[in-house]
Structure 1
Amino acid sequence: QCSLLLCCLCLSVEVHQTPSAVFSRPGENVQLFCQHPKTDYRVILWYQKTRGETALKLIGNLYHKNPTIESSYEKHFNMSGDLGGGGPKNASLNIVSNLTQEDSAVYFCAAREHSPVHCANYEAHFGQGTKLTVLNPNIKVTEPTVKVLAPSAKECEDRNKKKKKTLVCVATRFYPDHVTVFWQVNNVNRTEGAGTDNRALWDKDGLYSITSRLRVPANEWHKPENRFTCNVSFYNGTDNIQVNDTIRGDLQGNKTMNTVCVSEKQDI
Protein backbone atom coordinates (compact mmCIF):
# COMPACT_ATOMS: atom_id res chain seq x y z
CA GLN A 1 0.00 0.00 0.00
CA CYS A 2 2.87 2.34 0.68
CA SER A 3 4.22 2.10 -2.89
CA LEU A 4 0.76 2.48 -4.40
CA LEU A 5 0.10 5.61 -2.36
CA LEU A 6 3.33 7.20 -3.54
CA CYS A 7 2.52 6.40 -7.17
CA CYS A 8 -0.73 8.30 -6.84
CA LEU A 9 0.89 11.30 -5.15
CA CYS A 10 3.72 11.55 -7.66
CA LEU A 11 1.71 13.59 -10.16
CA SER A 12 0.28 15.98 -7.57
CA VAL A 13 3.50 17.34 -6.06
CA GLU A 14 5.04 20.31 -7.86
CA VAL A 15 8.52 21.26 -6.74
CA HIS A 16 9.71 24.68 -7.90
CA GLN A 17 13.30 25.88 -7.96
CA THR A 18 14.50 29.46 -8.41
CA PRO A 19 16.38 30.77 -10.17
CA SER A 20 16.54 28.40 -13.14
CA ALA A 21 20.03 29.67 -14.03
CA VAL A 22 22.58 31.85 -12.28
CA PHE A 23 26.04 33.21 -13.01
CA SER A 24 28.51 33.89 -10.24
CA ARG A 25 32.17 34.71 -9.86
CA PRO A 26 34.87 33.00 -7.80
CA GLY A 27 34.69 33.96 -4.14
CA GLU A 28 31.03 35.01 -4.19
CA ASN A 29 28.16 33.41 -2.27
CA VAL A 30 25.12 31.86 -3.95
CA GLN A 31 21.67 31.02 -2.59
CA LEU A 32 19.30 28.63 -4.39
CA PHE A 33 15.64 28.23 -3.46
CA CYS A 34 13.18 25.34 -3.40
CA GLN A 35 9.43 25.45 -2.71
CA HIS A 36 6.52 23.00 -2.82
CA PRO A 37 2.92 23.08 -1.56
CA LYS A 38 2.61 19.59 -0.04
CA THR A 39 2.15 20.11 3.69
CA ASP A 40 3.24 16.62 4.79
CA TYR A 41 6.41 16.53 2.67
CA ARG A 42 8.80 17.67 5.38
CA VAL A 43 12.10 16.53 3.87
CA ILE A 44 14.03 18.49 1.23
CA LEU A 45 17.06 16.83 -0.35
CA TRP A 46 19.68 18.66 -2.41
CA TYR A 47 21.74 17.05 -5.18
CA GLN A 48 24.59 18.16 -7.42
CA LYS A 49 25.11 17.05 -11.03
CA THR A 50 28.45 18.15 -12.44
CA ARG A 51 29.27 18.52 -16.11
CA GLY A 52 29.95 15.21 -17.85
CA GLU A 53 28.55 13.14 -14.96
CA THR A 54 25.34 11.14 -15.17
CA ALA A 55 24.94 10.41 -11.46
CA LEU A 56 23.51 12.82 -8.91
CA LYS A 57 25.60 13.41 -5.80
CA LEU A 58 23.72 13.92 -2.56
CA ILE A 59 24.70 17.15 -0.82
CA GLY A 60 22.41 16.64 2.15
CA ASN A 61 18.86 17.02 3.39
CA LEU A 62 16.74 19.27 5.55
CA TYR A 63 14.09 17.79 7.87
CA HIS A 64 11.91 20.40 9.59
CA LYS A 65 14.69 22.89 10.52
CA ASN A 66 17.47 20.36 10.88
CA PRO A 67 20.09 20.06 8.11
CA THR A 68 22.28 17.02 7.55
CA ILE A 69 25.14 17.65 5.12
CA GLU A 70 27.45 15.06 3.59
CA SER A 71 31.04 15.37 4.82
CA SER A 72 32.45 16.23 1.38
CA TYR A 73 30.19 19.30 1.20
CA GLU A 74 30.37 20.54 4.79
CA LYS A 75 33.04 23.19 4.20
CA HIS A 76 31.05 25.61 2.09
CA PHE A 77 27.50 24.30 1.73
CA ASN A 78 24.69 24.83 4.21
CA MET A 79 20.90 24.60 4.18
CA SER A 80 18.14 26.61 5.75
CA GLY A 81 14.35 26.63 5.88
CA ASP A 82 11.39 25.59 7.97
CA LEU A 83 9.52 22.53 6.77
CA GLY A 84 7.21 22.36 9.76
CA GLY A 85 3.72 23.80 10.03
CA GLY A 86 0.80 23.38 7.68
CA GLY A 87 1.68 25.75 4.85
CA PRO A 88 3.87 25.54 1.74
CA LYS A 89 7.42 24.37 2.34
CA ASN A 90 10.41 26.59 1.56
CA ALA A 91 14.11 25.79 1.76
CA SER A 92 17.38 27.11 0.43
CA LEU A 93 20.82 25.80 -0.40
CA ASN A 94 23.60 28.22 0.39
CA ILE A 95 27.03 27.94 -1.21
CA VAL A 96 29.41 30.11 0.78
CA SER A 97 33.09 30.67 1.39
CA ASN A 98 35.30 30.75 -1.68
CA LEU A 99 33.01 29.68 -4.50
CA THR A 100 35.13 28.11 -7.26
CA GLN A 101 34.62 26.96 -10.84
CA GLU A 102 34.43 23.40 -9.53
CA ASP A 103 31.07 24.36 -8.02
CA SER A 104 29.63 24.87 -11.52
CA ALA A 105 26.86 22.27 -11.81
CA VAL A 106 23.14 21.73 -11.97
CA TYR A 107 21.60 21.62 -8.49
CA PHE A 108 18.37 19.73 -7.86
CA CYS A 109 16.11 19.79 -4.86
CA ALA A 110 13.66 16.99 -4.14
CA ALA A 111 10.79 16.72 -1.69
CA ARG A 112 9.53 13.65 0.09
CA GLU A 113 7.79 12.49 3.22
CA HIS A 114 9.79 11.58 6.29
CA SER A 115 9.63 7.82 5.77
CA PRO A 116 9.72 5.42 8.72
CA VAL A 117 12.14 2.52 8.53
CA HIS A 118 9.45 -0.02 7.60
CA CYS A 119 8.42 2.01 4.55
CA ALA A 120 11.54 3.13 2.74
CA ASN A 121 9.99 3.29 -0.74
CA TYR A 122 8.67 6.83 -0.51
CA GLU A 123 9.49 8.59 -3.76
CA ALA A 124 11.27 11.92 -4.00
CA HIS A 125 9.73 14.55 -6.27
CA PHE A 126 12.33 16.65 -8.08
CA GLY A 127 12.41 20.24 -9.17
CA GLN A 128 13.59 21.27 -12.62
CA GLY A 129 17.09 22.15 -11.42
CA THR A 130 19.17 25.31 -11.16
CA LYS A 131 22.19 25.62 -13.43
CA LEU A 132 25.03 27.44 -11.67
CA THR A 133 28.00 28.67 -13.66
CA VAL A 134 30.99 30.09 -11.84
CA LEU A 135 32.49 32.28 -14.54
CA ASN A 136 36.08 32.16 -15.65
CA PRO A 137 37.35 35.71 -14.96
CA ASN A 138 39.50 35.53 -18.09
CA ILE A 139 36.63 34.82 -20.51
CA LYS A 140 34.00 37.35 -21.50
CA VAL A 141 30.32 36.38 -21.66
CA THR A 142 29.87 35.88 -25.41
CA GLU A 143 26.74 35.17 -27.44
CA PRO A 144 26.88 32.45 -30.12
CA THR A 145 27.37 32.72 -33.84
CA VAL A 146 24.69 30.61 -35.57
CA LYS A 147 24.84 29.06 -39.04
CA VAL A 148 22.45 26.67 -40.81
CA LEU A 149 24.09 24.33 -43.33
CA ALA A 150 22.17 22.97 -46.32
CA PRO A 151 21.61 19.21 -46.66
CA SER A 152 24.12 17.07 -48.48
CA ALA A 153 23.16 16.20 -52.05
CA LYS A 154 24.41 12.66 -51.38
CA GLU A 155 22.10 11.95 -48.44
CA CYS A 156 20.54 8.49 -48.57
CA GLU A 157 16.99 7.34 -48.05
CA ASP A 158 16.02 6.46 -44.49
CA ARG A 159 15.33 2.93 -43.28
CA ASN A 160 11.70 3.21 -44.47
CA LYS A 161 12.83 4.12 -48.00
CA LYS A 162 11.56 7.66 -47.55
CA LYS A 163 13.65 10.44 -49.00
CA LYS A 164 14.79 12.81 -46.28
CA LYS A 165 17.07 15.81 -46.03
CA THR A 166 19.04 16.79 -42.94
CA LEU A 167 19.76 20.42 -42.12
CA VAL A 168 22.55 21.10 -39.66
CA CYS A 169 22.71 24.07 -37.29
CA VAL A 170 26.06 24.98 -35.77
CA ALA A 171 26.28 27.46 -32.88
CA THR A 172 29.87 28.39 -32.10
CA ARG A 173 32.13 30.47 -29.87
CA PHE A 174 29.79 31.23 -26.98
CA TYR A 175 30.38 31.42 -23.24
CA PRO A 176 29.10 30.09 -20.95
CA ASP A 177 27.07 27.09 -22.11
CA HIS A 178 23.58 28.31 -21.17
CA VAL A 179 21.88 27.63 -24.52
CA THR A 180 18.79 25.90 -25.85
CA VAL A 181 18.16 25.20 -29.53
CA PHE A 182 14.86 24.90 -31.38
CA TRP A 183 13.81 24.79 -35.04
CA GLN A 184 11.09 26.54 -36.99
CA VAL A 185 9.74 25.92 -40.48
CA ASN A 186 7.97 28.97 -41.88
CA ASN A 187 7.90 30.47 -38.35
CA VAL A 188 6.16 27.41 -36.87
CA ASN A 189 8.02 25.40 -34.23
CA ARG A 190 9.17 21.99 -35.45
CA THR A 191 10.13 19.21 -33.04
CA GLU A 192 9.58 16.16 -35.26
CA GLY A 193 12.88 15.16 -36.79
CA ALA A 194 14.87 17.57 -34.60
CA GLY A 195 17.80 16.55 -32.43
CA THR A 196 20.45 18.51 -30.53
CA ASP A 197 23.71 17.45 -28.92
CA ASN A 198 23.24 16.45 -25.28
CA ARG A 199 25.70 19.12 -24.19
CA ALA A 200 27.89 21.81 -25.68
CA LEU A 201 31.50 21.01 -26.50
CA TRP A 202 34.25 22.96 -24.79
CA ASP A 203 36.89 24.37 -27.14
CA LYS A 204 40.52 24.71 -26.13
CA ASP A 205 40.11 28.49 -25.82
CA GLY A 206 37.32 28.07 -23.26
CA LEU A 207 34.43 28.84 -25.62
CA TYR A 208 31.63 26.41 -26.47
CA SER A 209 29.94 25.02 -29.56
CA ILE A 210 26.82 22.90 -30.10
CA THR A 211 25.21 21.22 -33.10
CA SER A 212 21.56 20.53 -33.88
CA ARG A 213 19.96 18.68 -36.78
CA LEU A 214 16.54 18.80 -38.45
CA ARG A 215 15.45 16.00 -40.77
CA VAL A 216 12.63 16.90 -43.17
CA PRO A 217 10.96 15.21 -46.17
CA ALA A 218 12.91 15.86 -49.36
CA ASN A 219 9.87 17.36 -51.09
CA GLU A 220 9.61 19.93 -48.28
CA TRP A 221 13.25 20.92 -48.73
CA HIS A 222 12.80 21.25 -52.51
CA LYS A 223 10.29 24.11 -52.17
CA PRO A 224 12.10 27.49 -52.27
CA GLU A 225 9.22 29.19 -50.46
CA ASN A 226 9.95 27.17 -47.31
CA ARG A 227 12.15 28.80 -44.69
CA PHE A 228 14.06 26.72 -42.14
CA THR A 229 15.23 28.60 -39.05
CA CYS A 230 17.52 27.49 -36.25
CA ASN A 231 16.96 29.51 -33.08
CA VAL A 232 19.48 29.54 -30.25
CA SER A 233 18.36 30.99 -26.93
CA PHE A 234 21.37 32.19 -24.94
CA TYR A 235 21.24 33.28 -21.30
CA ASN A 236 23.73 36.11 -20.75
CA GLY A 237 23.29 36.34 -16.99
CA THR A 238 20.42 38.81 -17.20
CA ASP A 239 18.23 37.95 -20.18
CA ASN A 240 17.61 35.19 -22.67
CA ILE A 241 18.60 36.54 -26.07
CA GLN A 242 17.70 34.91 -29.38
CA VAL A 243 20.28 34.34 -32.11
CA ASN A 244 19.14 32.63 -35.32
CA ASP A 245 19.91 31.82 -38.92
CA THR A 246 17.52 30.94 -41.75
CA ILE A 247 17.98 29.01 -44.97
CA ARG A 248 15.48 28.64 -47.81
CA GLY A 249 14.52 25.43 -49.56
CA ASP A 250 16.36 24.48 -52.74
CA LEU A 251 14.30 23.72 -55.86
CA GLN A 252 17.20 22.00 -57.62
CA GLY A 253 19.11 20.23 -54.87
CA ASN A 254 20.13 17.33 -57.13
CA LYS A 255 16.72 15.72 -56.76
CA THR A 256 17.47 13.04 -59.32
CA MET A 257 20.92 12.11 -58.04
CA ASN A 258 21.34 8.40 -57.43
CA THR A 259 23.43 7.65 -54.37
CA VAL A 260 24.84 4.29 -53.36
CA CYS A 261 23.98 3.68 -49.71
CA VAL A 262 25.43 1.12 -47.34
CA SER A 263 22.79 -1.04 -45.70
CA GLU A 264 22.27 -0.28 -41.99
CA LYS A 265 22.43 -4.01 -41.32
CA GLN A 266 26.02 -4.25 -42.46
CA ASP A 267 28.90 -3.83 -40.07
CA ILE A 268 30.91 -0.78 -41.14
Structure 2
Amino acid sequence: MPPNRFAAYPVVRRRHHGRYLAAAAILVVLASIIYSFAVGQIEWDYVGRFLTVPAILTGLVNTVIMSILAMFLGIALGVVFAVMHMSSNPVLAWSSRAYVWFFRAVPVLLQLLIWFNLALVFPNIGIPGLFSVPTVDVMTPFVAALLGLGIQQGAYTSEVVRAGLMAVDHGQYEAAQSIGMPRLQCLRRIILPQAMRVIVPPIGNEWINMVKTTSLASVIQYSELLHSAQNIYYANARVIELLIVASIWYLVIVTLMTLLQARIETFFARGIRPHGRTA
Protein backbone atom coordinates (compact mmCIF):
# COMPACT_ATOMS: atom_id res chain seq x y z
CA MET A 1 0.00 0.00 0.00
CA PRO A 2 1.59 3.34 -1.01
CA PRO A 3 2.30 5.81 1.80
CA ASN A 4 -0.16 8.58 2.41
CA ARG A 5 1.52 11.73 1.17
CA PHE A 6 -0.95 13.90 3.12
CA ALA A 7 -0.13 12.35 6.50
CA ALA A 8 2.50 14.96 7.29
CA TYR A 9 0.07 17.83 6.97
CA PRO A 10 -1.56 19.08 10.19
CA VAL A 11 -5.32 18.71 10.58
CA VAL A 12 -6.98 22.10 10.88
CA ARG A 13 -10.59 22.20 12.00
CA ARG A 14 -12.93 24.37 10.03
CA ARG A 15 -13.95 27.51 11.84
CA HIS A 16 -17.67 28.26 11.73
CA HIS A 17 -17.62 32.03 12.07
CA GLY A 18 -21.22 32.32 10.88
CA ARG A 19 -22.44 30.11 13.71
CA TYR A 20 -20.60 32.19 16.29
CA LEU A 21 -22.00 35.43 14.93
CA ALA A 22 -25.54 34.03 14.77
CA ALA A 23 -25.32 32.69 18.34
CA ALA A 24 -23.95 36.02 19.60
CA ALA A 25 -26.72 37.95 17.84
CA ILE A 26 -29.41 35.68 19.31
CA LEU A 27 -27.94 36.03 22.80
CA VAL A 28 -27.85 39.81 22.47
CA VAL A 29 -31.50 39.94 21.37
CA LEU A 30 -32.61 37.61 24.18
CA ALA A 31 -30.63 39.57 26.76
CA SER A 32 -32.16 42.86 25.59
CA ILE A 33 -35.69 41.41 25.75
CA ILE A 34 -35.12 40.01 29.25
CA TYR A 35 -33.59 43.28 30.40
CA SER A 36 -36.49 45.29 28.98
CA PHE A 37 -39.03 43.17 30.85
CA ALA A 38 -36.93 43.21 34.02
CA VAL A 39 -36.57 47.00 34.22
CA GLY A 40 -39.87 47.88 32.53
CA GLN A 41 -42.94 49.14 34.31
CA ILE A 42 -44.20 45.68 35.20
CA GLU A 43 -45.31 44.83 38.71
CA TRP A 44 -44.07 41.25 38.94
CA ASP A 45 -45.66 40.93 42.38
CA TYR A 46 -49.04 41.19 40.67
CA VAL A 47 -48.05 38.46 38.22
CA GLY A 48 -47.29 36.07 41.07
CA ARG A 49 -50.38 37.11 43.00
CA PHE A 50 -52.87 36.63 40.17
CA LEU A 51 -51.30 33.46 38.83
CA THR A 52 -53.46 31.29 41.07
CA VAL A 53 -56.52 33.40 41.81
CA PRO A 54 -59.84 31.48 41.46
CA ALA A 55 -60.96 33.43 38.38
CA ILE A 56 -57.77 32.62 36.48
CA LEU A 57 -57.85 28.95 37.52
CA THR A 58 -61.49 28.71 36.44
CA GLY A 59 -60.60 30.17 33.06
CA LEU A 60 -57.70 27.73 32.82
CA VAL A 61 -59.99 24.76 33.47
CA ASN A 62 -62.53 26.04 30.95
CA THR A 63 -59.78 26.43 28.34
CA VAL A 64 -58.59 22.86 28.85
CA ILE A 65 -62.14 21.47 28.80
CA MET A 66 -63.08 23.40 25.65
CA SER A 67 -59.89 22.42 23.80
CA ILE A 68 -60.40 18.73 24.64
CA LEU A 69 -64.11 18.62 23.74
CA ALA A 70 -63.71 20.70 20.57
CA MET A 71 -60.77 18.56 19.45
CA PHE A 72 -62.68 15.33 20.10
CA LEU A 73 -65.58 16.69 18.05
CA GLY A 74 -63.15 17.74 15.32
CA ILE A 75 -61.48 14.32 15.24
CA ALA A 76 -64.83 12.52 15.09
CA LEU A 77 -66.03 14.73 12.24
CA GLY A 78 -62.66 14.53 10.53
CA VAL A 79 -62.63 10.74 10.45
CA VAL A 80 -66.22 10.58 9.18
CA PHE A 81 -65.72 13.13 6.42
CA ALA A 82 -62.33 11.69 5.42
CA VAL A 83 -63.96 8.31 4.88
CA MET A 84 -66.80 10.01 2.99
CA HIS A 85 -64.29 11.84 0.80
CA MET A 86 -62.72 8.53 -0.26
CA SER A 87 -66.08 6.87 -0.86
CA SER A 88 -67.12 5.72 -4.33
CA ASN A 89 -70.53 7.25 -3.65
CA PRO A 90 -70.46 10.67 -5.38
CA VAL A 91 -73.03 12.16 -2.98
CA LEU A 92 -70.90 11.32 0.04
CA ALA A 93 -67.67 12.38 -1.65
CA TRP A 94 -68.97 15.76 -2.80
CA SER A 95 -70.70 16.41 0.55
CA SER A 96 -67.33 15.92 2.25
CA ARG A 97 -65.60 18.25 -0.18
CA ALA A 98 -68.27 20.92 0.35
CA TYR A 99 -67.93 20.65 4.14
CA VAL A 100 -64.15 21.02 4.01
CA TRP A 101 -64.35 23.88 1.50
CA PHE A 102 -66.89 25.90 3.48
CA PHE A 103 -65.52 25.56 7.02
CA ARG A 104 -61.92 26.12 5.96
CA ALA A 105 -62.93 29.23 4.03
CA VAL A 106 -64.93 31.00 6.77
CA PRO A 107 -62.74 32.45 9.58
CA VAL A 108 -63.21 30.74 12.93
CA LEU A 109 -63.97 34.04 14.66
CA LEU A 110 -66.81 34.64 12.20
CA GLN A 111 -68.12 31.11 12.81
CA LEU A 112 -68.18 31.73 16.55
CA LEU A 113 -70.19 34.90 16.07
CA ILE A 114 -72.64 33.18 13.72
CA TRP A 115 -73.29 30.32 16.13
CA PHE A 116 -73.66 32.68 19.07
CA ASN A 117 -76.16 34.84 17.18
CA LEU A 118 -78.03 31.95 15.59
CA ALA A 119 -81.23 33.04 17.34
CA LEU A 120 -81.43 35.98 14.93
CA VAL A 121 -82.05 33.48 12.12
CA PHE A 122 -83.76 30.65 13.99
CA PRO A 123 -85.64 32.00 17.04
CA ASN A 124 -86.60 28.44 18.01
CA ILE A 125 -85.04 25.05 17.36
CA GLY A 126 -86.54 21.61 17.67
CA ILE A 127 -88.70 19.13 15.80
CA PRO A 128 -91.87 20.68 14.34
CA GLY A 129 -94.97 19.34 16.04
CA LEU A 130 -93.02 17.63 18.82
CA PHE A 131 -91.00 20.18 20.76
CA SER A 132 -89.44 23.58 20.34
CA VAL A 133 -87.12 25.60 22.56
CA PRO A 134 -85.82 29.16 22.28
CA THR A 135 -82.46 29.20 20.54
CA VAL A 136 -81.04 31.74 23.01
CA ASP A 137 -81.53 29.21 25.79
CA VAL A 138 -79.66 26.51 23.90
CA MET A 139 -76.91 28.49 22.20
CA THR A 140 -74.97 29.45 25.31
CA PRO A 141 -71.38 30.73 25.00
CA PHE A 142 -70.16 27.20 25.82
CA VAL A 143 -72.28 25.52 23.14
CA ALA A 144 -71.50 28.19 20.55
CA ALA A 145 -67.76 27.91 21.22
CA LEU A 146 -67.88 24.11 21.09
CA LEU A 147 -69.74 24.05 17.78
CA GLY A 148 -67.72 26.84 16.20
CA LEU A 149 -64.33 25.43 17.18
CA GLY A 150 -65.18 21.74 16.82
CA ILE A 151 -66.88 21.88 13.42
CA GLN A 152 -64.19 24.14 12.00
CA GLN A 153 -61.50 21.82 13.34
CA GLY A 154 -63.24 18.86 11.72
CA ALA A 155 -62.60 20.36 8.28
CA TYR A 156 -58.84 20.54 8.88
CA THR A 157 -58.71 17.17 10.63
CA SER A 158 -60.54 15.57 7.70
CA GLU A 159 -57.65 16.43 5.38
CA VAL A 160 -55.09 15.16 7.91
CA VAL A 161 -56.91 11.85 8.29
CA ARG A 162 -57.36 11.51 4.53
CA ALA A 163 -53.62 12.04 4.02
CA GLY A 164 -52.91 9.34 6.60
CA LEU A 165 -55.29 6.89 4.92
CA MET A 166 -53.78 7.57 1.51
CA ALA A 167 -50.29 6.93 2.93
CA VAL A 168 -51.18 3.28 3.57
CA ASP A 169 -50.26 1.05 0.65
CA HIS A 170 -53.25 0.17 -1.52
CA GLY A 171 -52.25 -3.48 -1.32
CA GLN A 172 -53.52 -3.48 2.26
CA TYR A 173 -57.03 -2.73 0.99
CA GLU A 174 -56.75 -5.42 -1.66
CA ALA A 175 -55.51 -8.00 0.85
CA ALA A 176 -58.45 -7.26 3.15
CA GLN A 177 -60.92 -7.54 0.27
CA SER A 178 -59.39 -10.83 -0.82
CA ILE A 179 -60.40 -12.43 2.50
CA GLY A 180 -63.91 -10.95 2.36
CA MET A 181 -63.40 -8.24 5.00
CA PRO A 182 -65.96 -5.41 4.77
CA ARG A 183 -64.63 -1.94 3.99
CA LEU A 184 -65.41 -0.40 7.39
CA GLN A 185 -63.88 -3.34 9.22
CA CYS A 186 -60.83 -3.05 7.00
CA LEU A 187 -60.49 0.63 7.90
CA ARG A 188 -60.90 -0.03 11.64
CA ARG A 189 -58.63 -3.05 11.98
CA ILE A 190 -55.99 -2.66 9.27
CA ILE A 191 -55.83 0.79 7.67
CA LEU A 192 -56.36 3.19 10.58
CA PRO A 193 -53.79 1.54 12.90
CA GLN A 194 -51.15 1.93 10.18
CA ALA A 195 -52.27 5.44 9.27
CA MET A 196 -51.99 6.63 12.87
CA ARG A 197 -48.22 7.01 12.49
CA VAL A 198 -48.89 9.64 9.85
CA ILE A 199 -51.97 11.16 11.47
CA VAL A 200 -50.79 11.63 15.07
CA PRO A 201 -48.05 14.30 14.58
CA PRO A 202 -50.22 16.82 12.67
CA ILE A 203 -53.24 16.06 14.88
CA GLY A 204 -51.10 16.78 17.94
CA ASN A 205 -50.07 20.06 16.37
CA GLU A 206 -53.71 20.90 15.65
CA TRP A 207 -54.61 20.12 19.27
CA ILE A 208 -51.92 22.50 20.53
CA ASN A 209 -53.24 25.13 18.15
CA MET A 210 -56.76 24.50 19.47
CA VAL A 211 -55.64 25.47 22.99
CA LYS A 212 -54.65 28.88 21.68
CA THR A 213 -57.66 29.20 19.38
CA THR A 214 -60.02 28.91 22.35
CA SER A 215 -58.95 32.44 23.27
CA LEU A 216 -61.14 33.65 20.39
CA ALA A 217 -64.16 32.44 22.36
CA SER A 218 -63.69 35.45 24.63
CA VAL A 219 -65.56 37.55 22.03
CA ILE A 220 -68.73 35.58 22.76
CA GLN A 221 -68.24 35.84 26.55
CA TYR A 222 -67.04 32.28 27.12
CA SER A 223 -65.07 32.35 30.37
CA GLU A 224 -61.80 30.86 29.14
CA LEU A 225 -58.33 31.92 30.29
CA LEU A 226 -57.95 35.12 28.28
CA HIS A 227 -61.51 36.25 29.06
CA SER A 228 -60.87 35.77 32.78
CA ALA A 229 -57.65 37.78 32.57
CA GLN A 230 -59.44 40.55 30.70
CA ASN A 231 -62.19 40.76 33.31
CA ILE A 232 -59.56 41.25 36.00
CA TYR A 233 -57.49 43.89 34.22
CA TYR A 234 -60.63 45.82 33.29
CA ALA A 235 -61.11 46.24 37.04
CA ASN A 236 -57.54 46.92 38.24
CA ALA A 237 -55.89 48.26 35.04
CA ARG A 238 -52.96 45.82 35.36
CA VAL A 239 -53.14 44.92 31.69
CA ILE A 240 -49.65 43.66 30.95
CA GLU A 241 -49.40 41.77 34.24
CA LEU A 242 -52.60 39.82 33.57
CA LEU A 243 -51.56 39.13 29.99
CA ILE A 244 -48.28 37.71 31.29
CA VAL A 245 -50.27 35.50 33.67
CA ALA A 246 -52.33 34.17 30.78
CA SER A 247 -49.17 33.63 28.71
CA ILE A 248 -47.55 31.61 31.48
CA TRP A 249 -50.51 29.27 31.75
CA TYR A 250 -50.69 28.84 27.95
CA LEU A 251 -47.00 27.90 27.99
CA VAL A 252 -47.64 25.34 30.73
CA ILE A 253 -50.55 23.73 28.88
CA VAL A 254 -48.70 23.58 25.55
CA THR A 255 -45.59 22.14 27.20
CA LEU A 256 -47.58 19.34 28.86
CA MET A 257 -49.43 18.60 25.63
CA THR A 258 -46.16 18.49 23.69
CA LEU A 259 -44.80 15.87 26.10
CA LEU A 260 -48.02 13.88 25.80
CA GLN A 261 -47.88 14.09 22.01
CA ALA A 262 -44.32 12.72 22.04
CA ARG A 263 -45.43 9.74 24.13
CA ILE A 264 -48.33 9.00 21.78
CA GLU A 265 -46.08 9.24 18.72
CA THR A 266 -43.63 6.82 20.34
CA PHE A 267 -46.48 4.39 21.03
CA PHE A 268 -47.71 4.32 17.43
CA ALA A 269 -44.16 4.19 16.05
CA ARG A 270 -43.44 0.85 17.69
CA GLY A 271 -41.75 -1.57 15.31
CA ILE A 272 -40.57 1.20 12.99
CA ARG A 273 -36.80 1.45 12.65
CA PRO A 274 -35.53 5.02 13.29
CA HIS A 275 -34.04 6.80 10.29
CA GLY A 276 -30.35 6.33 9.88
CA ARG A 277 -30.09 2.97 11.65
CA THR A 278 -29.17 -0.27 9.98
CA ALA A 279 -29.83 -3.82 10.93
Bin the TM-score by the shorter chain: under 0.3
TM-score, normalised on structure 2?
Answer: 0.22
Q: When you count strand as a share of all residues, which structure comes out higher?
A: 1
Q: When you count helix as a share of all residues, which structure comes out higher?
A: 2
